[in-house]
């Protein structure tokens, strides 16, 4: 094995701490993989020399489009791909803040090019895929990740295959096809085996989760660090808590790593508590936390409004971010999700159901006395509500049609 160059950038196993030079990794940490464990690889940068000059300028300028502005702390890229992702608003929620006695902000990731946070992930991952010489990338997705991969692969001139399952978003599958991706569905339990064959025998690179199952990509998760940079840069400090809708666990871990970068460089003087927001339908994080487990048990994946976070298998890196930050996890009910969706809609926002798990969790944790009065709390809103027509259909009936319109007919269906 060649010596690991830790002068600038390297990968380090979250589980066994072994270090590796930047390169191609499809199954997470090779040592853990050989021993039958799953070891997510964490991307690390040597910050001993202090804040890199370009990063300092980006930090001072505040959130703006194109995450490669933070390129000093991302995997080195010869030709970075960008659709001007990032630079999303951090919006102060005045009514909610007043009601709860907190300073509540939402980090509105629906403002990204494909209307979700996954653009940050895909920008890094597809850049690295092309740099490593791949022409074909594959991901499994309920919708957001697949759409982002399809869009960035189109930009890069790479082929993309997105594998969904019957209850993943049909609308988004069609959007992926418009971008030129090949899209298929199959029973969810069959997807892992199919992807493994494609990767091992047919030259496809996996660009999904960083937590091996068994396939992994160690680079996309670094895109989420930029959410942390932007939140702290907007506030001029770390918030007290960051609430993140959590499925596989990459986003909560990535944001936590971003906050740690800032802390290591002395740009913020404390770290936030990370809160992993899941649903009563499936909540492996809360289960592990409440039993003081250091490993995560796989849970069933029943239907829920919050399709994009219904993942019975959450990565151990997410759990580690909760323990390291002194944070917590939640499991909100479908009713609480509905109330949170309507609460946000009444303020003019329509967020995807999974994202509103953060708002539902905020209200629940506030009722349980989790926050101190006046704390600053950020809810990360990962995607747009308009991407999930099945959820919309469950929230409201179709609008009435007036075939022979008259005031009397209108009065039959609404109050005048």
Q: Does 39 bind Zn ion (CB under 5 A)?
A: yes
Structure token pair of residue 69: 């502005």
Q: Which positions ≥6 away from 408 have C-beta within 8 Å? A: none
Query: Do the bridges between strand 182-185 and strand 41-45 make them parallel or antiparallel, or are there none, so unpaired?
Result: unpaired
Q: Does 271 bind Zn ion (CB under 5 A)?
A: no
Nearest distance from C-beta of residue 25 to Zn ion, angstroms: 11
Rounded CA separation 107/89 (Å): 6
Range list of H helices, 219-249: 225-235
Q: Does 409 bind Zn ion (CB under 5 A)?
A: no
Contact yes or no for 164/141 (Cβ under 8 A):
yes
Contact range with Zn ion by CB under 5 A, out of 7-15, 126-134, 218-226, 250-258 = 7-15
Nearest distance from C-beta of residue 43 to Zn ion, angstroms: 14
Nearest distance from C-beta of residue 40 to Zn ion, angstroms: 9
Q: Which helix (H) or strand (E) holds 274?
A: strand 273-279
CB nearer to Zn ion: pick between 14 and 129 = 14
CB nearer to Zn ion: pick between 10 and 59 = 10
Contact range with Zn ion by CB under 5 A, out of 23-31, 107-115, 384-392, 403-411 = 23-31
Q: Is the peptide bond before 214 cis (omega within 30 degrees of 0)?
A: yes
CB nearer to Zn ion: pick between 16 and 324 = 16
Contact yes or no for 6/19 (Cβ under 8 A):
yes
Helix (H, G, I), strand (E, B) or coil at 405: coil
Contact range with Zn ion by CB under 5 A, out of 28-36, 101-109, 162-170, 340-348 = 28-36
Of 29, 314, 331, 337, the residue at the interface with Zn ion (CB under 5 A) is 29
Q: In what order do the strands lie in the sheet with 205-206?
A: 182-185, 159-164, 136-140, 205-206
Of 11, 32, 232, 305, the residue at the interface with Zn ion (CB under 5 A) is 32
Contact yes or no for 375/240 (Cβ under 8 A):
yes
Q: Does 96 bind Zn ion (CB under 5 A)?
A: no
Rounded CA separation 232/4 (Å): 32
CB nearer to Zn ion: pick between 12 and 112 = 12
Query: From the centroid of its chain, how far is CA 183?
Result: 21
From the CB of residue 220, how many other CB atoms can be counted at a distance below 10 Å?
A: 32
Helix axes 316-325, 250-264, angle to 10 degrees: 40
Rounded CA separation 338/310 (Å): 16
Nearest distance from C-beta of residue 36 to Zn ion, angstroms: 11
Q: What is the DSSP letter of 404?
A: S
Nearest distance from C-beta of residue 38 to Zn ion, angstroms: 9
CB nearer to Zn ion: pick between 316 and 322 = 316
HSE-up of 304 (CA within 13 Å, CB side)?
Answer: 31
Rounded CA separation 244/46 (Å): 27
Nearest distance from C-beta of residue 39 to Zn ion, angstroms: 3
CB nearer to Zn ion: pick between 36 and 166 = 36
CB nearer to Zn ion: pick between 18 and 280 = 18
Contact range with Zn ion by CB under 5 A, out of 14-22, 91-99, 181-189, 220-228 = 14-22
- Site track for Zn ion across 144-173, x = CB under 5 A: ------------------------------
Contact range with Zn ion by CB under 5 A, out of 36-44, 136-144, 171-179, 337-345 = 36-44
CB nearer to Zn ion: pick between 27 and 229 = 27
Nearest distance from C-beta of residue 27 to Zn ion, angstroms: 11
Report how far apart, in Å, the C-alpha atoms of 11 and of each of 96, 146, 316, 347, 355 are. Answer: 41, 25, 17, 43, 30
Nearest distance from C-beta of residue 119 to Zn ion, angstroms: 29
Contact range with Zn ion by CB under 5 A, out of 38-46, 82-90, 186-194, 331-339 = 38-46
Of 5, 8, 16, 197, the residue at the interface with Zn ion (CB under 5 A) is 16
Nearest distance from C-beta of residue 34 to Zn ion, angstroms: 9
- Across-strand partners of 383? 116
Rounded CA separation 89/252 (Å): 18
First to last CA, the chain: 77
Of 11, 12, 13, 146, the residue at the interface with Zn ion (CB under 5 A) is 13
Q: Residues in the site for Zn ion, rule: CB under 5 A?
A: 13, 15-16, 29, 31-32, 39
């Amino acid at each position: 094995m060649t010596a690991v160059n830790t002068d600038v950038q390297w990968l380090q196993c979250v589980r066994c701490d072994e270090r590796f030079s930047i390169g191609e990794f499809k199954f997470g940490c090779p040592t853990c993989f050989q021993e039958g464990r799953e070891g997510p690889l964490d991307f690390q940068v040597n910050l001993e020399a202090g804040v890199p000059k370009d990063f300092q300028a980006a930090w001072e300028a505040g959130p703006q489009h194109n995450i490669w502005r933070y390129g000093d702390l991302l995997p080195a890229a010869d030709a970075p791909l960008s659709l001007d992702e990032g630079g999303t608003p951090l919006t102060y929620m005045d009514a909610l803040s007043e009601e709860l006695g907190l300073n509540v902000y939402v980090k509105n990731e629906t403002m990204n090019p494909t209307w979700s946070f996954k653009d940050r992930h895909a920008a890094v991952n597809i850049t690295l895929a092309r740099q490593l010489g791949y022409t074909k990338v594959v991901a499994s997705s309920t919708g957001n990740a697949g759409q982002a991969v399809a869009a960035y692969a189109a930009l890069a001139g790479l082929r993309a295959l997105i594998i969904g399952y019957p209850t993943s978003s049909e609308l988004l599958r069609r959007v992926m096809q418009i971008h030129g991706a090949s899209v298929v569905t199959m029973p969810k339990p069959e997807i892992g085996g199919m992807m493994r064959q494609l990767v091992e025998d047919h030259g496809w690179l996996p660009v999904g989760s960083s937590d091996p199952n068994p396939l992994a990509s160690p680079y996309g998760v670094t895109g989420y660090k930029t959410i942390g940079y932007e939140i702290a840069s907007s506030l001029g400090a770390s918030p007290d808590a960051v609430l993140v809708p959590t499925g596989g666990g990459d986003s909560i871990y990535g944001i936590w790593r971003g906050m740690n970068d800032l802390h290591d460089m002395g740009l913020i003087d404390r770290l936030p508590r990370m809160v992993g927001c899941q649903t009563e339908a499936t909540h492996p994080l809360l289960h592990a936390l409440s039993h003081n487990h250091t490993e995560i048990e796989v849970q069933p994946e029943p239907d829920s409004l919050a399709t994009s976070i219904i993942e019975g298998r959450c990565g151990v890196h997410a759990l580690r971010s909760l323990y390291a930050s002194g944070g917590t996890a939640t499991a909100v009910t479908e009713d609480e999700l509905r109330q949170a969706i309507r609460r946000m809609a009444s303020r003019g926002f329509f967020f995807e159901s999974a994202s509103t798990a953060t708002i539902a969790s905020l209200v629940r944790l506030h009722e349980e006395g989790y926050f101190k009065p006046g704390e600053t709390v950020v809810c990360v809103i990962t995607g747009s509500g308009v991407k999930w027509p099945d959820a919309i259909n469950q929230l409201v009936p179709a609008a009435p049609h007036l075939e022979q319109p008259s005031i009397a007919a209108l009065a039959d269906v609404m109050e005048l």
